[in-house]
Structure 1
């Protein structure tokens, strides 16, 4: 590679080249790798760079590795000079008026240092001033005795021009204004401020950090003496880059406080001369790779046209402000003069950080701004923190609408949860699932239940008159399904006794461990309604628990390219190994593989989910008894009798969610079901970011002659989790043996092939048990011939994701309702394997489990 090829590669990948001069958001999005992973709505924090900008940086680093740093800089010196010219064109300045620095804060500090402000010098600052600038001014007031005056804002939120004019009647050393603040979409009247400052003979410093790249900036038209800006925001350049403009007439007196060999010549023992241009404010040591990346980003901005960028981003922001007005509980916090691509808002009575965490989990990336970053603005308005969304050229109306939909859905869930709040013991709650919308519950066919009355045979029918010696429902098994069923039943008013044969937190079943995956990709459309129900049910559990339990990351499910496609689903797409590498750089697939991409897939915090369910159950009165094994059960009049190690219990209904021990309690299932040993390891990495979202999400790879490798990305401090979804049959009555060296080495070998970044130590080894059924299906419903006994069994390695939804279904069935949407999982069907296979309702293939 040489200098010419490095430049050519970058320009060939530029969005402007791909667009042929047209403003095509789809092409810009395709040329922005970060948009493959989520909806990025944080350009005001750090916009996503284009693939061309990324190439400019990485290619120069490669050139440095081949030639050396000095030699590479010399080889591309002409391209570096183009960076100055591009910046000058954007500002309406001359190249010699531009200094390249490391950040806007560095530019600010060097500019103010050159002004040599001293005791009594007045600095007039707008309330839109950024925190770093304000801190510097406050320090200069303490250490140098400057007089700092913060100008008031008018009713629109902009600087009060009348107050500025009055303040300029007295001598001043500097007026500083932030074009767009960090704390809102406000746009200050910079040209008017510049005109007033020029009339008074006072230089104006424009902080264009939040505006350059999204709004036109003209140093001459605005009367700027100094402009500071960063590369990482609306210019879409790399972090660690910035711009400083100093007007020629100001440079005559604004001498750098600490001249460097880059900007001065040491001409004699006690003499030096500054260079004529703004490079006098630079230092010798700088990242040439980042500067070339900035140059590419600047050129892309120029090619697209700042006016067109402005029109695009302000239209999106306007659409969002209008849409937010229709979302209950949401308040737009932008002042009336907001006219940029930034929108700030909050939900009343909620920390915006929680709002943003929830939105990020839906794939919408935005941020918050605390008052500590804008005390003269947010503090003045009594706002402790706001949520902030900001748009760029790679965003579309779809992104705005998705964000609005996510916010509206949060509010809908809140309202649903409030309506579904559990009533006092004995109250009728037929038809209710705590916080679960009707559309997600499946059909309720009992007329009385629809009317809000207890269904015939409901466990709640006569509770008020019953003595305390008998439960309404006994739930056996404290894994994800049993715990979900216990919570739902208790929240509807049932007296629930919840049994598990082992102590809380045991590792002998199927629900322990840190994480599980959730996905929409399934082999048959018959699963799609239940998958939709599962996503809604997790959202309701999160709301009830008050914590995030599901993080959407997207998922990839790979197979040999010539193998039949076994996974599909709403929103899923088939991709080749090249696109798969773009989606998940942490997963290495060779040319012989293709994959199903599921953008809705994600990670479930399994440990937190079980803890939350146990806590919610206790809140609603569940009588949880760990370490209490069930020996057997039988019918007992109008209920059931359950024998345990410590005595006999009676109830109206029995729910069996016993996982590997289902066959012991329900002999009819002993034949179809088998229990197999599964081994997982968590692996560390020297490049952990490659194994975390968004560079890796849940995945599986059907490896010929080996089996299905599945994995969950590094999550919450734990290393990436991998396993193979098959193993030998195992007796659940015996404790699981530790992971063997052979089992561990087998997983390490396959990890090195598909996860090259998983090069760290084995952090943790885990064994669990899959309870497998023919066709990898479930059994959910009433036990054949036993209307008072319900079963959820044989999750076949893919059941955790359905936990809250199946818990709600069991509560419905216990109340006497029918759930026709679950007929394809009828326990009666499992007994007839051949018949099940003919029904078209077979479970997921091997590729779909976990």
Structure 2
């Protein structure tokens, strides 16, 4: 008997050590960009599979398609043998097709079902199969009977036994459905069908590769499967197994030259094996890639794969009930690598969209893909996670932590009321968010209790004398995402001054504190103070929504990578403060994308920080394929970097401030101020105001209100453009994140990936000095063309039109530092000035610090940013600019 017709025994269970997950990740390029939990949709192929496909395509380009197929005909034959080994079948029983649906349709067509033929189907049947059966019912008159499920969710074997007492033409069962982690009792069903003389068609689309599928043990006459799921093969590949007995009764309905011989003018014969169901035209490259994937599955051993993926799924299934507001939707008989769930009161598409932004790849399954299952159970849609060999416990724990954090934030947004730190923005619709996490994180702890807004605490930072950075580095303003969020440390008890407000919260001429400037720092300070019961008047010289200052626009960056450790404590506090603001606002404001900050190798200055690593240009290309760095560049990779939704943040702060009683007065310019007894007098266009304390966050207009700062501060013009693309995915996370490139002779190019519908954003961190008293001029053609030239050099996918141009103003200080604290010689006046292009990320943290200082509490962690040190007395590491 030849090897093509002899059944190959199933490979024995693979004893030995557990899978080497690190090696499997290293051999799977897609794991570098996200936590991929969608093997049930399309698993990540290995580098070897990718190489097999591309090498054959190159061979076709050199030799021609027919010649390349002939040259590798022996390797193609091996694909049939590998598939047969996996199923415990003979190579002659295998047909290679382009999908499981194609395999199903050819198998059903070959059965030549007639009117009155009875087909029994499990409720787990996939949508495409169900639609075909419904069409055969309507067009061919078959009798279709959908079998019920038992309380565990599995096919009710008693109902099947009763149904088989009447003649039937076919039983079809989905081994694992697309709608849950259920595993059907196929062996028992196959045995019942065999005793009744009814063939079993097994849909192994979701099981082959993660569970053993032995055709003899399961009693299968026909098996259909795809290559792209748990086999990790290329899309456009599939398998059809048809037993010799079934081939005797199942003749192809549409024979092709591949499966039949035209022997005379009016006669043909089908080939003896299952290849009679194939067609001539196919992708040989994809079939060879499938062969590589099959061989890798066989080498790992299906038993070991099963043990690994089911243990991860069990871990996830066990952890989800501990997440407030999350419900597992798998039936009790779930035992595969698939897990389904829902978040309370939320469309699963929102859940998955939000998790995708946070770096998780999941999908949803609608009832339209499983009416006999989800529809029967009253579920309109579920979120689905599916694990594979390149996943580990860290992936599961990170997903649980991300869900826990976002559900706590969603809950806080729903519960928030005036007087607590979790009040929702009036009139806003909470948007689910995701707090960045990395690594295993406990998921069963208690949710935060709504209450007064916690103030991010002080983190000890070396004083000015400890700061040494001989060559500070200007680098753009990126943002954190997948890093752990520090737990806020309570601030010191506030001093009794000022006392709780004696003034009614309505427009008037006196407040406890007057805040000047409604950018990120002023708005944050106003909110924090008001949330503590302080009466605040908040002034801005322009109408709300203006574009003259430094805080407008769609996005900003956040990062942990900084040139000097002196910044690390404040960066930690900033991350915690953004998480606090997200909880209070009830929406996501920070998106983790990771960041790359590049410069020519050997150039002076560099970045460093917790979790950051230096990479060469080749590794940078793996991390961000959308960014092109030539040889000779190195980069610092910051996995915690990300993007802040600047517009949403300002909107949220304004709403939270008003909800706590902030008296916001836009379009009210300050003409001057002076000390007035125990307080401060502020002269405005609308009259005189008085307060116990004054906080000035006036951005480019700081020098007008504080003449002592006019000389050291420079106001410069910055231009950004948003660019479209014909290959937008290359400019979106995870293929591109926050970045900067030190370009010799030009300066620092910085960018934010395409996100939330906007094109990729780029800019240069320097520009000409500009008079803030004059309206900002539109972007010029020369400014635009300079950025377009840089985009073509470093972002080849940014080949679309200019979607938007933006100008803003950086207020730059010596050493790119800030000035945060009391005005020298005037303890009643506080200042936050000179963001120096990188201050937006610290907005909520510095707002809380200003509130502490206004209430008399010390903040020694900010001593290195003391306004008294402005001008270079203290020289912390220069963090650089960004947008």
Using structure 1 for the length normalisation, give the TM-score: 0.90
How many correspondences in the alignment?
Answer: 813
Contact 1:341 1:390 in 2 (8 A): yes
Once residues 577 and 763 of structure 1 are traced to their aligned partners in structure 2, the CA distance between those partners, rounded to angstroms, is 29
Instruction: Flag structure 2 segments of 5+ consecutive residues without an equivalent.
Output: 1-15, 424-449, 458-485
Which residue number corresponds to residue 789 of structure 1? 829
The aligned counterpart of 1:202 is 198
Which of 445, 456, 477 in structure 1 is aligned with 2:492?
445
Aligned positions of 1:566-715 closer than 5 A: 566-715=606-755
Indicate which of 530, 534, 537 corresponds to 1:497. Answer: 537
Is 1:80 matched with 2:120? no
Which residue number corresponds to residue 170 of structure 1? Answer: 166
- Is the 8 Å Cα contact of residues 317 and 341 (structure 1) preserved in structure 2? yes
Aligned with 2:88 (options 88, 92, 111): 92
Taking the TM superposition and a 5 Å limit, the aligned residue runs for 1:9-48 are 23-48=19-44
Quick one: distance in 1 between partners of 2:676 and 2:371? 70
**Which of residues 760, 763, 768 in structure 1 aligns to 2:808?**
768
Q: Distance in 2 between matches of 1:403 and 1:171?
A: 48
- Aligned pair 1:725/2:771, yes or no? no
User: Against the structure 1 CA distance between its residues 206 and 436, is the aligned structure 2 distance closer, same or farther, given a 3 Å change threshold?
Assistant: farther
Out of 670-679 and 143-152, give the one that drifted further: 143-152
Following superposition, the deviation at residue 216 of structure 1 comes to 0.7
Alignment of 1:508-519 (within 5 A): 508-519=548-559
- Structure 2: how far apart are the matches of 1:798 and 1:203? 69
- The equivalent position to 2:60 in structure 1, one of 42, 64, 71, is 64
Q: Distance in 1 between matches of 2:727 and 2:75?
A: 32
Mean CA deviation greater in 768-777 or 410-419? 410-419
| Structure 1 residue 159: Cα displacement | 1.2
Q: 1:227–1:245: 8 Å Cα contact kept in structure 2? A: yes
The answer on 1:144 being equivalent to 2:179 is no
1:8 counterpart residue number: none
Q: What is the CA-CA distance between 1:355 and the residue it aligns to?
A: 3.1
Please say if 1:842 is aligned against 2:882: no
> Which of residues 808, 823, 827 in structure 1 aligns to 2:848?
808
1:121 to 110, 113, 117: 117
Contact 2:753 2:759 in 1 (8 A): yes
In the TM superposition, residue 268 of structure 1 has moved relative to its aligned partner by: 4.2
Note if contact 2:256-2:278 (Cα within 8 Å) is conserved in structure 1.
yes
**Counterparts in 2 of 1:170-319, with a 5 A limit?**
170-319=166-315
Contact 1:417/1:434, CA 8 A, preserved across alignment: no
Q: Does 1:457 align with 2:497?
A: yes
CA distance in 1, matches of 2:18, 2:451: 53
- Once structures 1 and 2 are overlaid, which stretch shifts more, 156-165 or 505-514? 505-514
Q: Secondary structure at the residue paired with 2:171? A: strand
Picking from 772, 786, 803, the partner of 1:746 is 786
Describe the shift of the 1:767–1:778 C-alpha distance in structure 2 as closer, same or farther (beyond 3 A): same
Over 3 Å counting, the alpha-carbon distance change for 1:268 and 1:773 in structure 2 is same
User: Structure 1 stretch 665-674 or stretch 73-82: which is displaced more?
Assistant: 73-82
1:105 aligned onto 2:101: yes
TM superposition shift of 1:235: 0.9
In the alignment, is residue 154 of structure 1 matched against residue 150 of structure 2? Answer: yes
Aligned partners of 2:764, 2:738: CA distance in 1, in Å? 14
User: Residues of 2 paired with 1:469 and 1:160: CA distance?
Assistant: 77
Query: Secondary structure of the equivalent of 1:649?
Result: strand
Deviation of 1:463 after TM superposition, in Å, equals 4.7
User: Deviation of residue 359 (structure 1)?
Assistant: 3.0
Q: 1:291 to 1:461 in 2, by over 3 A?
A: same
Could you tell me whether the CA contact under 8 Å between 2:176 and 2:183 is conserved in 1?
Answer: yes
How many angstroms apart in 2 are the aligned matches of 1:277 and 1:578?
48
Shift of 1:596: 0.8
Shift of 1:441: 4.3
Give the direction of change, closer, same or farther, for the CA distance of 1:123–1:77 in structure 2 (3 Å limit). same
Deviates more, 1:613-622 or 1:40-49: 613-622
Residue in structure 1 matched with residue 367 of structure 2 by the alignment? 371
How many angstroms does 1:127 deviate by?
1.9
CA displacement at 1:67 relative to structure 2: 3.1
Contact 1:432–1:492 (CA<8 Å) still a contact in 2? no
* Corresponding residue SS for 2:857: coil
Indicate how the Cα distance of structure 1 residues 467 and 616 shifts in structure 2: closer, same or farther if over 3 A, else same: closer
**Any idea what the Cα deviations from partners look like across 1:818-844, whole Å, max 9, x if unmatched?**
3333333233332xx34312xxx3341
Partner of 1:10: none
Deviation, 1:368, is 2.5
| TM-aligned CA distance change 1:157 to 1:732, over 3 Å | same
Change (3 A) 1:79 1:161: same
Aligned counterparts of 2:496 and 2:451: Cα–Cα separation in 1: 15
The 2-side partners of 1:215 and 1:638 are apart by 77
Q: Is the 8 A contact 2:820 2:867 kept in 1?
A: yes
Whole-angstrom CA distance in 2 between matches of 1:239 and 1:701: 36
- Please identify, of 61-70 and 37-46, the stretch whose mean Cα deviation from structure 2 is larger: 61-70
Change (3 A) 1:659 1:465: closer
Which residues in structure 2 correspond to 1:323-472 (within 5 Å)? 323-413=319-409, 421-423=417-419, 434=453, 440-446=487-493, 455-458=495-498, 460-463=500-503, 468-472=508-512
| CA distance, structure 2, for counterparts of residue 557 and residue 122 of structure 1 | 65
Measured in 1, the distance between the counterparts of 2:322 and 2:863 equals 39
Assess, with a 3 A threshold, how the Cα gap between structure 1 residues 222 and 371 changes in structure 2: closer, same or farther: same
Q: Is the 8 A contact 1:778 1:795 kept in 2?
A: yes
Partners of 2:327 and 2:455 in 1: CA distance: 26
- Unaligned stretches of 5+ residues in structure 1: 1-19, 450-454
Q: Secondary structure of the residue that 1:836 maps to in structure 2? A: coil
Report deviation, 1:630. Answer: 1.9
TM-score (norm 2): 0.86
3-state SS in 2 of match to 1:769: strand
Q: 1:204 to 1:404 in 2, by over 3 A?
A: same
Distance across 1 between alignment mates of 2:186 and 2:456: 50
Distance 1:115 1:792, change over 3 A: farther
Larger proportion of helix: 1
SS of residue matched to 1:252: helix
For residue 238 of structure 1, report the CA deviation from its aligned partner. 1.6
Q: 1:108 to 1:480 in 2, by over 3 A?
A: farther
Distance 1:778 1:157, change over 3 A: same
Q: Is the 8 A contact 1:441 1:809 kept in 2?
A: no
CA distance in 2, matches of 1:100, 1:497: 73
Residue 49 of structure 2 corresponds to which residue in structure 1?
53
Partners of 2:613 and 2:637 within 8 A in 1: yes
Is the CA contact (8 Å cut-off) linking 1:436 and 1:536 kept in structure 2? no
Report the equivalent of 1:131: 127
Cα distance, 1:40–1:657 mapped onto 2, change above 3 Å: same
Match of 1:474 in 2: 514
CA RMSD of aligned residues (A): 2.8
Match of 1:778 among 804, 818, 827: 818
CA contact 1:177–1:205 (8 Å) conserved in 2: yes
The offset of 1:443, in angstroms, is: 4.6
| Cα 1:48/1:643, change in 2 over 3 Å | same
C-alpha distance in 1, partners of 2:641/2:322? 29
Is 1:757 the counterpart of 2:792? The answer is: no
Q: Does structure 1 conserve the Cα–Cα contact (< 8 Å) formed by 2:505 and 2:663? A: no
1:301 and 1:370 map into 2 onto residues whose CA distance is 30
Structure 1 pair 459/206, CA: closer, same or farther in 2 (3 Å)?
farther
